[in-house]
Amino acid sequence: MTGRLTNDRLSAQFAFLNEADKLKRVLRATTLCDGSRAENSGEHSWHLALYALVLADQAGPGVSIDRVIRMLLLHDLVEIDVGDVPIHSANGQAHGSAEVQAAEAAAAERIFGLLPGDIGAPLRALWEEFEAAESPDAVFAKSLDRVQPVLQNIESGGGSWIDYNVTRAQVEARVGAKVARGAPGLWDWVRDRLGGFFPD
Amino acid sequence: MTGRLTNDRLSAQFAFLNEADKLKRVLRATTLCDGSRAENSGEHSWHLALYALVLADQAGPGVSIDRVIRMLLLHDLVEIDVGDVPIHSANGQAHGSAEVQAAEAAAAERIFGLLPGDIGAPLRALWEEFEAAESPDAVFAKSLDRVQPVLQNIESGGGSWIDYNVTRAQVEARVGAKVARGAPGLWDWVRDRLGGFFPD
């Protein structure tokens, strides 16, 4: 490969990495554990990758933790264009709507398209696998993505549950079922700690 | 394993993950690409893991990108206790001093010690491998850790170079040599883009 081609290739790689920096400015409904400010989607993605590393023993058979980590590093990049759609917003109807899905697909096209094709195509495929939530790796990754905000809410004293007026039944339906699908042991542990927030 | 033991084990895993959340409040000398605010060490760690994923073709022989990613996810956790020591602070003398190294070792003992031993010990070993900067994985990880702030400074118009009154020779010595050690192609690309910041 000539110097010129190497140069162009690296310029594309850095254009993507500089673009990714914008994810640090996308704010989520969840706060840090101390409640001091909203969490951003960049630091959230880091925290989730650390969840995968530390909670690997909760994954089902056939899960590759390294693939899960790669997925989690990428999973929110489309929010650079679309923003974060909180799971409890619009009474739980906005997250995963057809409109949001179409916008996220267009964002993936643009953002992964900044990379040389041999790098961008497999990364985009990994994001699509996460979105489809069918492979063992994606199901486990989704479980972690759902359980982390629960931990942050418990630590901060209620967090986005209070902001969105969420009931225990809604947490069970929107969050619990998906955590339990990929990591049943995690949901057992977490459910035991919800009592103080949703007296019923 | 009984339910009680599973419970204790998960409690330790979550205690670590909740503690790790504090890294999102450790601020660095470098800003985001748009210069709008200081970068924190949590989002920095995410960005670096993404660097490893996207710049894998710049790694030397024998480098495992998945191990590099794991290292980068962990590499700054000790800053929860010690804070970030900017590379250009105290005229370049503070970073890596014996005092800082001792404080970081104590922090590693405390933070990785929150985990069950079978999880914490290998993660601490990975952090020590990064700090030693001898294995191919650690050398490449260090190169990425050094080059990312350079990209952020270029994007933001000078950033911490201006704050610390840094010369081009100091960037070459404190940063360039270490980037070039693990990823010479990256430093070639970056060096060509420094002219505007350090007219000489």
Provide the shortest C-alpha distance from residue A32 to chain B (in Å). Answer: 7
Give me the residue from A6, A13, A40 closest to B54, CB to CB: A13
Domain holding A174: CATH number?
1.10.3210.10
Which DSSP helix (H) or strand (E) runs through A163? helix A159-163
**What is the pLDDT averaged over residues A36-62?**
97
CB contact under 8 A, B21 and A6: no
Interface size between A and B, measured as CB pairs under 8 A:
130
Interface test with B, best of A1, A2, A4, A14 (most B CBs within 10 A): A14
Evaluate if residue B128 carries a pLDDT over 60.
yes
Lowest-confidence pick of A56-65, A72-81, B121-130, B149-158: B149-158
pTM of the predicted protein model: 0.95
CB contact under 8 A, A33 and B45: no
Instruction: Kindly list the residues from chain A whose CB atom is less than 8 angstroms away from the CB atom of residue B73.
Output: 46, 49-50, 53, 69
Tens-digit pLDDT profile for residues A131-157:
999 999 999 999 999 999 999 999 998
**Among all residues of chain A, which has the CA nearest to that of B17?**
A51
Domain interval for residue B65:
2-196
Token pair, residue A127, equals: 């994001």
Evaluate if residue B142 carries a pLDDT over 80.
yes
What is the domain count for chain B?
A: 1
Token pair, residue B24, equals: 């999102």
Distance CA B159, CA B153 (A): 5
Provide the shortest C-alpha distance from residue B90 to chain A (in Å). Answer: 28
Interface test with A, best of B10, B18, B21 (most A CBs within 10 A): B21
Evaluate if residue A36 carries a pLDDT over 50.
yes
Please give the ipTM for the structure prediction: 0.95
Provide the shortest C-alpha distance from residue B135 to chain A (in Å). Answer: 20
Provide the shortest C-alpha distance from residue B33 to chain A (in Å). Answer: 7
DSSP A55: S
pLDDT at B78: 98
- List, in sequence order, the alpha helices (H) in A2-158: 3-20, 41-54, 65-74, 79-82, 98-112, 117-132, 136-156
Instruction: Kindly list the residues from chain B whose CB atom is less than 8 angstroms away from the CB atom of residue A69.
Output: 49, 66, 69-70, 73
Evaluate if residue A2 carries a pLDDT over 60.
no
CB contact under 8 A, B46 and A50: no
Measure the CA dihedral B7/A73/A135/B9, to 10°. -10
pLDDT at B160: 82
Which DSSP helix (H) or strand (E) runs through A28? strand A27-31
Going by their DSSP bridges, the two strands A27-31 and A38-40 should be labelled as antiparallel
